[in-house]
Amino acid sequence: MGDLIAAYGLAAEAISSAEALLIGAGAGLGVDSGLPDFRGPQGFWRAYPVFRGRRFEEISNPVWFHRDPEQAWGFFGHRLNLYRTTAPHAGFEILHRWGQRCPKGYFVFTSNVDGHFQRAGFLPDRVLECHGSIHYLQCVELCSDVIWSAEETMVDVDQETVRAHQPLPRCPTCGGLARPNVLMFGDRQWVPARCSEQEDRYRQWLAEIDESRVVVLEFGAGKAVPTVRWECENRGNQLIRINPRDVDAPPGAIMLPVGALQAIQALDKIM
């Protein structure tokens, strides 16, 4: 208990003195909003019992938009509807306030495709969604590299079978089937243009803050797909890793083995 209290104190001091804040976020950040993190087969099956016996990596695969479009859009349509109707938890507002307070500002590096940072008020040009966003679509057949908003897209999903009813989202250019602009497993058809633009802004920000004191706050980033963990470990002057399970970190990092919302609220109280 004493070590945890000391870690909270060090983390609060680091955030308070930061000139710039890099926020790294994996699926664990959204758990406190009520979103599933699909951690391991059991976590995936709890969220989607109909897929018991199958892995998340198997279902989140572009092959199903060719083999079984109703299943593919049932899974992604259900998630789209869930992310739209679930409000970001209170911790997002606190993180935004911390970032705004930094003289050199903030940037978000996230593997989440739910769009909750933007919904919580984070500037769109300060968010890098390295796996894309479910709120944008592209053509399954790659008739072009056009990416468009899913704002007007409605997907009717059977809650028991997790299969989508016709009509399914279509490409406005060729009329063929559309899919989310999300990087899936085994995905060679993802159009990365939107993510590449975000990455360009991120690299520019990193160049601008090169000599600044950058604190990296990482939340709920797992080891199975360690993109966020790797990025956070290689940036900034101080890494603060917040994770109730995979909290181990390189020497010099501050580790808080608790959930995201609990940590954010406790740190805000100290600060």
Please give the Cα distance from 218 to 255 (Å, whole number). Answer: 10
Are 64 and 72 in contact by the 8 Å Cβ rule? The answer is: yes
Q: Where are the beta strands (DSSP E) in 188-231?
A: 214-219
150: left (phi over 0), alpha (psi -120 to 50) or beta: alpha
Annotated catalytic residues are 131
Please give the Cα distance from 22 to 198 (Å, whole number). Answer: 14
Other Cβ atoms closer than 10 A to 232: 26
First to last CA, the chain: 19
Beta-strand relationship, 148-149 and 106-110? unpaired
Are 143 and 173 in contact by the 8 Å Cβ rule? The answer is: yes
CA-wise closest residue to 5 among 265, 261, 256: 256
